């Protein structure tokens, strides 16, 4: 008879996997934090415990936060990510509802879902990056929210029609409030993608519209990579979307599971 593993062994294996995964995920944060509070000479030594192996310092944080380019990059990242996410969700929610409720003769709805192109030719401008990032992330609200709208019973809207509501009123007062957790979740996803977007920020900016991902890549000096400044910039870039996701995690879970099960 084949012997099965005991529950104790299974628990140990599960916890072992969890510890490895958590370490794998959190170590970059720890590395960035350590380098942000180390003196330049300490960054090249194998020291990992503050106060015991090295004396921490906040001089790098003070120096970085005092740089006008860093302040501008943080503000640009905030404006571009929030603006792009808001614009994408505002446009995407209407497109998603249209794809879920109407049929198109000339062009298939599935092709419309993935067809978002932009030919704007603006350079080093915050507004241009908002628009470009919106065209990049708008597929998320269209694809996700259209499925959520399809899962809503049509009878709810038909009841509103009986009461004299128009199609837009039924959408605004009945359908949209029911999928609002999904709208919040998609907005956070779009904001995170726009915040971390590097290609547009690198190729279309030079001074005024530079974002934090570009500032991280620009921490290289003639004497090499300044790891202490990289640590500060990495944390400044990671913390805002991470804090937002933690604060709104219940909306993300509800939104992404909404409509996952029919019935």
pLDDT tens digits along 126-142: 888 888 889 888 888 88
Phi-psi region of 144 (alpha: psi -120 to 50; beta: other; left: phi over 0): alpha
Rg (the chain; Cα; Å)? 24
pLDDT, average across residues 65-79: 91
Strand partners, 50: 54
Q: Has residue 108 got a pLDDT over 50? A: yes
Composition of the chain by helix, strand, coil, percent to 5: 70, 0, 25
Q: Has residue 103 got a pLDDT over 90? A: no
Residues 6+ apart with CB under 8 A from 112: 95, 99, 104
Report d(CA 190, CA 249) in Å as an integer.
15
pLDDT, average across residues 98-116: 58
pLDDT digit string, tens, across residues 201-240: 887 777 788 888 888 877 666 566 778 888 888 888 888 8
Q: Which residue has the higher pLDDT, 39 or 224?
A: 39
Q: What is the architecture, at CATH level 2, of domain 64-257?
A: Orthogonal Bundle (1.10)
Q: What is the mean pLDDT of the chain?
A: 81
Q: Which residue has the higher pLDDT, 257 or 108?
A: 257
For position 78, what pLDDT does the model report?
A: 92
Residue 76 pLDDT grade (very low, low, confident, very high; cuts 50, 70, 90): very high
pLDDT, average across residues 64-81: 91
Reported as type and span, the H/E element at residue 224 is strand 224-225
For position 87, what pLDDT does the model report?
A: 92
Read off the DSSP letter of residue 258.
Answer: T
Q: Which residue has the higher pLDDT, 220 or 57?
A: 57
For position 5, what pLDDT does the model report?
A: 52
Annotated domain spans of the chain? 1-57, 64-257
Predicted TM-score of the model (pTM): 0.71
Q: Has residue 246 got a pLDDT over 50? A: yes
With contact defined as beta carbons under 8 Å apart, do 138 and 186 qualify?
A: no
- 17 by Cβ neighbours in 10 Å (0-12 / 13-18 / 19+) ranks as exposed
For position 11, what pLDDT does the model report?
A: 84
For position 84, what pLDDT does the model report?
A: 92
């Amino acid at each position: 008879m084949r012997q099965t593993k005991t529950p104790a062994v299974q628990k140990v294996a599960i916890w072992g996997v969890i510890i490895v995964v958590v370490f794998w995920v959190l170590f970059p944060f720890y590395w960035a934090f350590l380098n942000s509070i180390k003196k330049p000479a300490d960054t090249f030594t194998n020291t990992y415990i503050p106060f015991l192996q090295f004396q921490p310092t906040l001089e790098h944080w003070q120096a970085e936060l005092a740089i006008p380019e860093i302040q501008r990059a943080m503000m640009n990242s905030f404006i571009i990510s929030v603006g792009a996410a808001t614009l994408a969700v505002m446009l995407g929610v209407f497109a998603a509802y249209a794809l879920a409720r109407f049929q198109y003769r000339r062009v298939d709805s599935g092709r419309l879902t993935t067809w978002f192109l932009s030919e704007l030719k603006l350079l080093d401008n915050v507004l241009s990056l908002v628009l470009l990032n919106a065209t990049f992330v708008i597929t998320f609200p269209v694809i996700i929210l259209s499925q959520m709208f399809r899962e809503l019973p049509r009878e709810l809207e038909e009841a509103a029609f009986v009461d004299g509501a128009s199609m837009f009123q039924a959408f605004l007062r009945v359908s949209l409030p029911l999928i609002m957790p999904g709208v919040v979740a998609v907005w956070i996803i779009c904001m995170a993608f726009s915040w971390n977007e590097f290609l547009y920020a690198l190729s279309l900016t030079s001074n005024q519209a530079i974002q934090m991902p570009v500032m991280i890549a620009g921490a290289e000096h003639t004497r090499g990579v300044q790891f202490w400044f990289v640590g500060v910039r990495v944390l400044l870039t990671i913390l805002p979307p991470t804090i937002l996701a933690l604060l709104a995690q219940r909306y993300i879970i509800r939104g992404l599971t909404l409509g996952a099960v029919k019935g």
